[in-house]
Each structure stands twice: as C-alpha cells, then as structure tokens.
Amino acid sequence: MRWPQSHVRGLLSSTVFLPTRNVIGLLGEEIMKTKVALSLMLELLLSGAIASQVQAQTFNKLTKLTFSGPVAVPGKVLTAGTYAFTILDSFGNRQIVQIWNADKTELVTTILAIPNVRLEPTDKTVIEFRERPAGRPQAIKAWFYPGYSYGIEFVYPKEEAVQLAKVENEPVPAEEALPTPSTMKTVPLVAVTPQGEEEPVAQAFPPAKQKEVAQVLPKTASPLPLIGLFGATCLLFGFGLRRFATKTR
C-alpha cells in the first residue's frame, strides 16, 4: 500500500517532533530546579560567610577606639586619633594584642597581656587607665570587651612597669626581656611591686582568677566552619548536576 505523501509527513512529524517537545519540557523543568538549588546554595554560602565574619570579629575582639589626646601603651605612645584593637592569639595566661590604624591597613604595635576580670560586664567597651606622673600621657591598664566580665591587662616593659607600680602603689605585670615576634609566647613575665621588687605573676595576680579567665577566653576564629560549608555546597551542587544529567539521558 502506498501512503499519501502528506500522511507520511504527518507520521514523521508525530514521531520526531513530539518527543522533542517532551525533552525540551523536561530540560526546562530540570533547569528551573537547578536554578532554585543554586540559589539556595548561594544563600547558604553567603550566610556562612557573614556568620564567619561576625564570629571572627567576636573572637578577635575587634574594637575601634578614638582618643582625644596621646595615650601610652607598652613601649609606645599613641597620638590622638582612632585605632583598631584586636587579639591575635590567646594561650595559657597570656594574650597577644595588636593595635592598628583606623582602617587596619597599618600595624602600629604588638603587645602582650594577661587576663583581668571585673565584677560585672557592661554593654560597651571599657578601657581602664593607670596613673602617670604629671605631664605624662595616661597609660592603658586593661581592656574589656562589651558583654564580658573578663578582659586583658597590658604587660609593660620592666622599666615602665617599675615607674607605674610606684605611682599606682600596686603590682604591674612586666616583661623580663623585650619580646620579639618569635618569643611572644615564651618571654618570661614577672610582677613588679611598688617597692621595685619582682615576684611571680601567679603570686601578684590570683591564679584562680587567671585560670578561670584563661579557660573562657576564646581563640582566634577558625575558617574551618566556612570551609566545611563550602565543601557541603560543592557536594550538593555535584549531586544536582548528576541527577540532572541522569534525567536528561
């Protein structure tokens, strides 16, 4: 039997183009699903990045302080202006503090500190100063982050500590030697008394309080949570692509 040419074209059309429309529909549906999945993944990644940044600021205690006049910190006098204070590292009964310019593009100085406590936390940053002889800039004694009852007390070079202890009539933590980047964690620390004598830091500053504070002082923020989130996102994305490829075969 001979089929009319128009009927043959109709059969070809029904057997060739109809499945193509189904494939296109399936592709469109899967593309939409993939777009939605990608959007969710990107939102999760962005949320993780923001959370990691907030966590980093909390752990390193980033604090911007503006001084209307010169103030003294261990081994240096800061001129009037705005500075960013951060904790670089915490270990045992000492912390490493970095002081930056306002936008954190230039490191001003790196100093040592030991734990300090106050009776009640406040909702704002607290800076305690030490007394200085007339005509000398005030010296920072301790720094407390908002919402915390514990903070850090700056450790001064021994020569400065001797002067501060006499004026304040109380022990002042001091460095036995000028620390370097490689000795920050190991340089010996002592307490200088108002009489100019030296005694162990644990004796001058109650070890029970230091131990309690040191245990709750946080380490610097780790990028591991963000790395884990990124890895999970990549796995989900790979699974989605595999599922998409399987359905379009």
**72-76, 132-136, 189-193, range with the lowest pLDDT:** 132-136
Q: What is the mean pLDDT of residues 140-158?
A: 92
Query: What's the pTM value of the predicted model, to 2 decimals?
Result: 0.62
Q: Calculate mean pLDDT across residues 216-242.
A: 51
Greatest CA span in the chain, whole angstroms?
A: 123
Mean residue pLDDT of the chain comes to: 75
Domain boundaries in the chain? Answer: 23-60+223-249, 61-220
- Amino acid type, 19: P
pLDDT over 70 at 29, yes or no: no
- Span 44-50, mean pLDDT? 44
HEC letters along the chain: CCCCHHHHHHHHHHHHHHHHHHHHHHHHHHHHHHHHHHHHHHHHHHHHHHHHHHHHHHHCCCEEEEECCCEEECCEEECCEEEEEEEEEEECCEEEEEEEECCCCCEEEEEEEEEEECCCCCCCCEEEEECCCCCCCEEEEEEECCCCCEEEEECEEHHHHHHHHHHHCCCEEEECCCCCCCCCCCCCEEEECCCCCEEEHHHHCCHHHHHHHHHHCCCCCCCHHHHHHHHHHHHHHHHHHHHHHHHCC
Residue count (the chain): 249
Distance of CA 242 to the CA centre of its chain: 37
**Cα 123 from Cα 148, distance rounded (Å):** 8
Q: Which whole number is the average pLDDT over 106-126? A: 90
Q: Which pair of tokens denotes residue 153?
A: 């007390």
pLDDT per residue as tens digits for the range 201-228: 988 887 544 444 444 444 444 455 555 5
Per-residue pLDDT band for 132 (boundaries 50, 70, 90) equals confident
Give the pLDDT mean for 222-242: 53
Q: Which residue has the tokens 């940044």?
A: 53
Amino acid occupying residue 241: L
The fraction of the chain above a pLDDT of 90, given in percent, is 43
Nearest alpha-carbon partner for 109 in 74, 142, 68, 139:
74
Ramachandran quadrant class, 231 (left: phi over 0; alpha: psi -120 to 50; beta: rest)? alpha
pLDDT at 170 > cutoff 90: yes
Q: How confident is the model at residue 47 (pLDDT cuts 50, 70, 90)?
A: very low
Q: pLDDT exceeding 70 applies to what percent of the chain?
A: 59
Would the pLDDT of 236 be above 90?
A: no
Contact between 245 and 34 under an 8 Å Cβ cutoff? The reply is no
